């Protein structure tokens, strides 16, 4: 029966209608974009450029009319896009391969991303070699070429420091099994080069130090820099610094000449801090993590709940490099103290020595907030005075030494000053002072005779002490010069240096001996300048050249630890040994060219 009712779309029909309409609009827009791109490509002269992120904005066209009104400044530049010619072998370009390797893109991901980018830009993927097989083959060939080129072009500095470190990493053939890998780095204070990361087995008839020496010297010979090595920077472990078969002794025996021994100053600081923390018995638990800091992390939301607390305590997810320095300023009541923002606790393992420093300072700064919580929530009654004593030691003694420990010329002066401060600190806390002195006496590397000449170039040492040190060195001048083998060592000149005896009244001049001339010979320090007045040293050309040699010497082993981290990050991308070495060389080179990918500049030529 026919009526006057008008038919209407239902809810589902309306949704379907809108969906069909949107699809038709997308198809029309894609067709228009494809037609426009084809027209532009026909009019464009083929150019081969490589486009990357850049901080520099493209120049504006003078004929373009600004969308803003006259007289009103424009704060944004209109992005009009760019026309590029993509070569068919784009996946084989060295810069593209290096960047993809650095970003840990697999060949499949790299090929898929390239095809998607070209298709979205309106190009024809069939005109490119963008398959998985092409990407994989190109990556292996190009990485090998980059590695060979780096090996051929690298020139070692005249005076090199040798760094090494090792770590267990997954095997290339079976990721469920671990193998030891040795990271070897060579360079000076300005230039560092990763030579290689060979694998080795410790369960053999050879001593660990002998294996490290054999692999290290092989890399030094392959890179033609064995003759330039004058110094060793290492972590002060027993495998490196023992008296018989340690790595330091074995390396010198393999090279056939003695070298300077530079214990990593950061590692020395770690040992000293751990010694004090252990002797205080702040943490008595045998668990892998420090339970005190675990309680701090678990109760991180309790600090600002009570409004009676003096000021809010907030948390961030990241850790600033200057965090603990700001904590020290606030805890000591310095003039530059500012509002403190606490980061949420991260790694709490007992091996993380920096955790002991950071979280102890946090606990000391938050003592008023923690006191409002129930007893034992974070700290016990016995731990509170120990935490405060440890924080005071860090603030008044340890912080100044740590923040200035990286300079080689100040090493001897800083260590002797630290010893004198610890002697005076006995009046404040005899137990902490005794623990710190016990640790420091095991690491008097920079107070030996062969290291004393570095103090002549220190800006901290007073001129009177420099003059006294120079006179003491001249008094111990040996009859036979140059001095090729030091005297104050265990064994026949290749052993561990003999540490001097320190007294509360000891000065650097009191520590001088014949071995000072061995250190001067190793670092090419001109002895004639010591006859001049100290005020004339700043203008003496020979002394300036000697100062450059001394300042180029490394006394921290952080670069080897960064090499270990690099290996751990990229060991999973390779299945063969040589391919892994090529990957590490390419990534190291790309990072040196573009340290920060967020601020990388336009690449106008292939590397």
| H or E, element range at 199 | strand 199-200
463 & 522 share domain: yes
Q: What angle do CA 429, 432, 435 make, to 5 degrees?
A: 145
Domain-embedded: residue 427: no
537 & 565 share domain: no
143 & 170 share domain: no
Looking at 66-159, which runs of residues are DSSP E strands?
A: none
| Cβ-based neighbour number of residue 400 at 10 Å | 15
Whether pLDDT at 313 is above 50: no
Domain-embedded: residue 12: no
Q: How far is CA 412 from CA 421, 529, 537, in A?
A: 14, 20, 19
Q: Give every CB contact of residue 172 below 8 A, 6+ residues apart in sequence.
A: 571, 574, 575, 576, 577, 580
The token duo for 79 is 């992005």
Whether pLDDT at 219 is above 50: yes
Provide, rounded to the nearest whole percent, the portion of the chain with pLDDT above 70. Answer: 81
Q: Which residue reads 């780095």 in tokens?
A: 185
pLDDT mean across residues, the chain: 83
Q: How far is CA 407 from CA 28, 404, 411, in A?
A: 66, 7, 6
The token duo for 113 is 């991303």
Tell me: the pLDDT tens digits for 531-546?
888 888 888 888 899 9
The band of 304, judged by pLDDT with boundaries at 50, 70 and 90, is very low
- Structural domain including 592 reads 84-153+575-607
The band of 345, judged by pLDDT with boundaries at 50, 70 and 90, is low
243 & 278 share domain: no
Answer whether 362's CB lies under 8 Å from 295's CB.
Answer: no
Domain-embedded: residue 383: yes
pLDDT of residue 2: 56
Answer whether 514's CB lies under 8 Å from 483's CB.
Answer: yes
pLDDT of residue 123: 87
Across 302-315, average pLDDT: 42
Q: Could you give the CA distance from residue 415 to residue 263 in angstroms, rounded to a whole number? A: 13
Q: Could you give the CA distance from residue 261 to residue 230 in angstroms, rounded to a whole number? A: 9
pLDDT of residue 375: 76
467 & 543 share domain: yes
Q: Could you give the CA distance from residue 469 to residue 511 in angstroms, rounded to a whole number? A: 9
Domain-embedded: residue 205: yes
Domain of 201, CATH number, reads 3.30.420
Q: How far is CA 140 from CA 241, 354, 549, 573, in A?
A: 39, 40, 39, 12
212 & 245 share domain: yes
Domain-embedded: residue 377: yes
* End-to-end CA separation in angstroms for the chain: 82
More confident residue, 367 or 46: 367
Q: Which of 230, 252, 237 is nearest to 553 (CA)?
A: 230
The band of 283, judged by pLDDT with boundaries at 50, 70 and 90, is confident
Whether pLDDT at 319 is above 50: no
Domain-embedded: residue 339: yes
Whether pLDDT at 455 is above 80: yes
Tell me: the pLDDT tens digits for 21-45?
888 998 998 888 888 777 766 655 4
pLDDT of residue 305: 42
Going by the DSSP 8-state scheme, the letter that residue 484 receives in this structure is: -
Compute the Cα dihedral for 433, 434, 435, 438 and give only its sign: positive
286 & 350 share domain: yes
More confident residue, 462 or 361: 462
The band of 48, judged by pLDDT with boundaries at 50, 70 and 90, is very low
Q: Could you give the CA distance from residue 501 to residue 132 in angstroms, rounded to a whole number? A: 66
Across 170-181, average pLDDT: 92
394 & 300 share domain: yes
Q: Could you give the CA distance from residue 251 to residue 253 in angstroms, rounded to a whole number? A: 5
pLDDT of residue 114: 92
Q: Which of 120, 121, 42, 49 is nearest to 87 (CA)?
A: 49
Answer whether 295's CB lies under 8 Å from 370's CB.
Answer: no
Question: Which residue among 377, 401, 425 closes a domain?
Answer: 401
3-state secondary structure of 478: coil
pLDDT of residue 563: 96
69 phi and psi angles, rounded to 5 deg:
-70, 160
Q: Could you give the CA distance from residue 133 to residue 382 in angstroms, rounded to a whole number? A: 65
Q: Could you give the CA distance from residue 314 to residue 304 in angstroms, rounded to a whole number? A: 8
189 & 293 share domain: no
222 & 280 share domain: no
Q: Is the backbone peptide bond immediately before 482 cis, with ω within 30 degrees of 0?
A: yes
Tell me: the pLDDT tens digits for 547-588?
999 999 999 999 999 999 999 999 999 989 999 999 999 999
Q: What angle do CA 591, 592, 596 make, to 5 degrees?
A: 55
309 & 392 share domain: yes
pLDDT of residue 325: 58
Domain-embedded: residue 212: yes
pLDDT of residue 5: 58
In this structure, of 48-52, 89-93, 227-231, 557-561, the range with the lowest mean pLDDT score is 48-52
565 & 606 share domain: no
Please count the structural domains in the chain.
4
Whether pLDDT at 604 is above 70: no
184 phi and psi angles, rounded to 5 deg:
-120, 125
More confident residue, 167 or 319: 167
| Cβ-based neighbour number of residue 552 at 10 Å | 21
Answer whether 523's CB lies under 8 Å from 546's CB.
Answer: yes
In this structure, of 10-14, 336-340, 476-480, the range with the lowest mean pLDDT score is 336-340
Domain-embedded: residue 74: no
- In our burial notation (b when 16+ CB lie closer than 10 A, e otherwise), range 505-537 reads eeebbebbbbbbbbbbbbbebebebbeeebeeb
């Amino acid at each position: 029966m026919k009526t006057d009712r008008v038919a209407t779309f239902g809810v589902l029909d309306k949704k379907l209608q809108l969906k069909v309409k949107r699809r038709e609009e997308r198809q029309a827009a894609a067709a228009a974009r494809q037609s426009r791109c084809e027209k532009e490509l026909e009019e464009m002269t083929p150019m081969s450029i490589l486009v990357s992120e850049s901080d520099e904005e493209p120049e504006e066209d003078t004929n373009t009319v600004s969308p803003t009104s006259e007289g009103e400044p424009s704060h944004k530049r209109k992005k009009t896009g760019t026309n590029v010619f993509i070569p068919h072998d784009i996946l084989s370009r060295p810069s593209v391969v290096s960047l993809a390797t650095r970003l840990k893109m697999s060949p499949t991901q790299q090929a898929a991303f390239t095809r998607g980018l070209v298709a979205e830009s309106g190009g024809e993927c069939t005109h490119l070699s963008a398959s998985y097989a092409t990407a994989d083959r190109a990556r292996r060939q190009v990485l090998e070429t980059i590695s060979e080129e780096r090996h051929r072009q690298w020139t070692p500095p005249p005076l090199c420091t040798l760094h090494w470190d090792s770590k267990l990493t997954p095997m290339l053939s079976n990721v469920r099994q671990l193998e030891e890998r040795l990271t070897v780095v060579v360079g000076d204070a300005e230039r560092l080069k990763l030579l290689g990361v060979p694998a080795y087995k410790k369960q053999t008839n050879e001593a660990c130090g002998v294996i490290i020496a054999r692999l290290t010297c092989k890399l030094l010979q392959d890179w033609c820099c064995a003759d330039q090595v004058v110094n060793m920077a290492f972590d002060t472990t027993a495998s490196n610094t023992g008296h018989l078969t340690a790595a330091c002794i074995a390396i010198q025996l393999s090279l056939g000449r003695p070298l300077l021994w530079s214990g990593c100053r950061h590692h020395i600081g770690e040992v000293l801090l751990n010694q004090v923390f252990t002797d205080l018995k702040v943490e008595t638990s045998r668990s892998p993590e420090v339970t005190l800091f675990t309680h701090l992390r678990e109760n991180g939301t309790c600090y600002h709940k009570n409004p009676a607390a003096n000021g809010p305590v907030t948390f961030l997810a990241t850790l600033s490099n200057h965090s603990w320095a700001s904590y020290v300023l606030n805890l000591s009541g310095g003039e530059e103290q500012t509002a403190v923002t606490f980061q949420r606790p991260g790694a709490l393992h007992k091996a993380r020595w920096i955790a002991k420093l950071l979280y102890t300072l946090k606990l000391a700064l938050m003592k008023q907030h923690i006191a409002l919580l129930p007893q034992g929530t974070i700290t016990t009654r016995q731990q509170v005075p120990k935490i405060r004593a440890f924080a005071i030691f860090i603030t008044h003694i340890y912080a100044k030494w740590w923040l200035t420990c990286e300079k080689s010329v100040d090493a001897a002066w800083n260590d002797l000053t630290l010893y004198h401060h610890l002697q005076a600190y006995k009046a404040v806390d005899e137990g902490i002072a005794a623990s710190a002195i016990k640790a420091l006496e095991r690491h008097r590397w920079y107070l030996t005779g062969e290291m004393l000449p570095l103090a002549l170039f220190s800006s901290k040492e007073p001129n009177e002490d420099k003059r006294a040190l120079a006179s003491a060195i001249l008094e111990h001048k040996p009859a036979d010069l140059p001095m090729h083998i030091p005297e104050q060592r265990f064994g026949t000149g290749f052993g561990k240096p003999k540490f001097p005896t320190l007294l509360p009244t000891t000065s650097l001049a009191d520590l001088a001996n014949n071995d000072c001339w061995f250190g001067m010979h190793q670092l090419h320090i001109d002895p004639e300048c010591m006859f001049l007045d100290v005020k004339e040293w700043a203008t003496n050309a020979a002394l300036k050249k000697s100062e450059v040699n001394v300042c180029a010497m490394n006394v921290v082993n952080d670069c080897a630890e960064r090499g270990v981290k690099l290996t751990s990050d990229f060991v999973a991308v390779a299945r063969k040994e040589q391919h892994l070495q090529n990957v590490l060389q390419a990534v190291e080179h790309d990072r040196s060219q573009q340290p920060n990918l967020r601020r990388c500049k336009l690449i106008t030529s292939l590397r």
